[in-house]
Amino acid sequence: MTTLWIVVNIAFLLLLILFLYKLQQKHISFSKRVFIALGLGIAFGLILQFVYGTKSEVIKTTMEWFNIVGKGYIKLLQMIVIPLVFISILSAFTKLKLTNNLGKISGLIIGILVATTAIAAAISIATSTAFNLEAVQIQQTDAETARATELEQQFGEIKDLTLPQKLLELLPANPFLDFTGARPTSTIAVVIFAAFLGFAFLGVKRKNPEHADRMVKIVETFYTWIMRVVTLVLRLTPYGILAIITKVLATSDYSAIYKLGKFVVASYVALIIMFVIHLLLLTLAKLNPITYVKKSLPVFLFAFSSRSSAGTLPLNVKTQTDKLGVPEGIANFAGSFGLSIGQNGCAGVYPAMLAVMIAPTVGIDPLTPSFIFTLIAVVAISSFGIAGVGGGATFAALLVLSTMNLPIGLAGLLISVEPLIDMGRTAVNVSGSMTAGLLTSKITKELDTKTYQANDQIVVDEDIKTAGV
């Protein structure tokens, strides 16, 4: 009987996928299909949990099959992240889009990312204090204890590294290893390697224009090829979101969410405030924040459901360039740097909140000016090299808590509601990188305001051909 119900669940998912495909054939816009997939996933997930319960064998096996669609889609996105980052930055050099003010652009993007992360930490400190969050309020079960042991083991891998050594980890000693994504800092390492090749190209162009012309054609050929792959993968977004959000709703531990509701609410209050800060920054730059939200909503939606900043990179960059008017070079730098530097949610809000919660357990008053300013500085500096994949927030928490001499094992206290909080953190991470790209473009006067103001939608379907692909 168990097998029968599993087959029924899989068949129903296939019917929903077929329904979404029919919508695409009827030329329903990409954004609408994404929202429809989200709604269907929420309803389907709640029904599955109501019928079977979170811990049933039917749910467990069903989700393994659903992962073929959900996790499979995320893996396809991750597959193209490194090639996209590398070829896009190299292409920006060959198009001479960054040569005049490369240093200024890089400095602005990194500065905005780190500054907003510091702001996120300050907001998190205030929110934690307002909600009176303390680690002693959370009852530790076997899950929290096991998580604490796991974190202690992870900490053993990084505890002996000094800050200069951690910064050195950003450099690509072996770029071919980094192309495999083997290190948490692989993305930034690939960016640096691509930049070196870009500078080398400029030297070749000055001395051997003929060779440079051949290099341009090769780079543009590969760029067009990779972007075609990006387009093909992004067309699968509605199906991926359907499976991902169904799993989230079907497997969430709502009793744990209820017990830790105050911590979940506090986290989302801080994240929402940080998102409002992004909108205020855009407003100060004389950019309509409503336009930004409307055009970027599918990106935030995917980041929220997938919990992967790296997986969202292709959609992030494409939205910046095609719909927000950000030049390709700046969009790729902002998106790529945003994966490993200055993640407002994972590296800003989360570690600061944990530090404030844990400090009283060792007799430290988290409201003293010295603690607050030190924590904000540590969070900002530690945000370098945080991976834009699952576990990035934990890595950031380990760095911050260890630097502040706080017990790292307590970082596992929120393990029961971690997936729910991580969804919001990832969306804020992505918004931070897109805001950095927009502000940098505006400051350098390279933003295409006509594209930004145009009243259109994100296009990655066959309904409307993607420009240049």
Alpha carbon distance 115, 463 (integer Å): 40
Which one is predicted more confidently, 2 or 324? 324
Element (H, E) at 399: helix 392-403
Q: What are phi and psi of 109, to 5 degrees?
A: -60, -50
Q: How confident is the model at residue 463 (pLDDT cuts 50, 70, 90)?
A: very low
Lowest mean pLDDT among 58-62, 117-121, 137-141, 357-361: 137-141
Q: What are phi and psi of 308, to 5 degrees?
A: -140, 105
467 within domain boundaries = no
Q: How confident is the model at residue 296 (pLDDT cuts 50, 70, 90)?
A: very high
Short-list 436, 116, 426, 439, CA closest to 301: 426
43 within domain boundaries = yes
Average pLDDT over residues 88-101: 70
The CATH number assigned to the domain holding 283 equals 1.10.3860.10
463 within domain boundaries = no
Average pLDDT over residues 445-458: 79
Q: What local confidence, expressed as pLDDT, does residue 462 receive?
A: 40
380 within domain boundaries = yes
Amino acid at 422: D
Q: List CB contacts of 381: < 8 A, sequence separation 6 or more.
A: 163
* Model confidence pLDDT, tens digit, residues 354-377: 888 888 888 888 889 999 999 999
CA dist list (Å): 439 to 279, 298, 306, 427: 11, 20, 26, 18
* Model confidence pLDDT, tens digit, residues 156-198: 555 556 667 766 777 888 888 888 877 767 777 888 898 889 8
Q: Give the DSSP per-residue string, 297-354.
A: HHHHHHHHHH--HHHHHHHHHHHHHHTS---HHHHHHHHHHHHHS--IIIIIIHHHHH
Q: In the chain, pLDDT over 70 holds for what percent of residues?
A: 83
In the predicted model, what is the mean pLDDT of the chain? 81
Sign (positive/negative) of CA torsion 129, 131, 132, 134? negative
Q: What local confidence, expressed as pLDDT, does residue 318 receive?
A: 86
Question: Helix %, strand %, coil % for the chain, to 5?
Answer: 75, 0, 25
Q: How confident is the model at residue 211 (pLDDT cuts 50, 70, 90)?
A: confident
Distance from first CA to last CA of the chain, Å, rounded? Answer: 49
- What is the extent of the structural domain holding 94? 2-453
Is residue 230's pLDDT more than 90?
Answer: no
Alpha carbon distance 238, 460 (integer Å): 11
Q: What local confidence, expressed as pLDDT, does residue 73 receive?
A: 86
Average pLDDT over residues 318-340: 86
Tell me how far the alpha carbon of residue 183 is from its chain's centroid. 17
14 within domain boundaries = yes
Q: What is the pTM of this model?
A: 0.77
Alpha carbon distance 341, 313 (integer Å): 14
What does the angle CA 448 – CA 450 – CA 453 come to, to the nearest 5 degrees? 110
58 within domain boundaries = yes
12 within domain boundaries = yes
Average pLDDT over residues 240-260: 79
Which range of 43-57, 282-296, 441-455 scores highest in mean pLDDT? It is: 282-296
Q: How confident is the model at residue 439 (pLDDT cuts 50, 70, 90)?
A: very high
Q: How confident is the model at residue 385 (pLDDT cuts 50, 70, 90)?
A: low
Which one is predicted more confidently, 56 or 95? 56
55 within domain boundaries = yes
Lowest mean pLDDT among 245-259, 294-308, 324-338, 381-395: 381-395
For residues 311-344, b (16+ Cβ closer than 10 Å) or e, as one string? bbbbbbbbbbbbbbbbbbbbbbbbbbbbbbbbbb
Is residue 408's pLDDT more than 60?
Answer: yes
Alpha helices, DSSP H, located in 26-140 = 30-52, 57-94, 102-130
Q: How many domains does the chain have?
A: 1
Q: What local confidence, expressed as pLDDT, does residue 2 receive?
A: 80
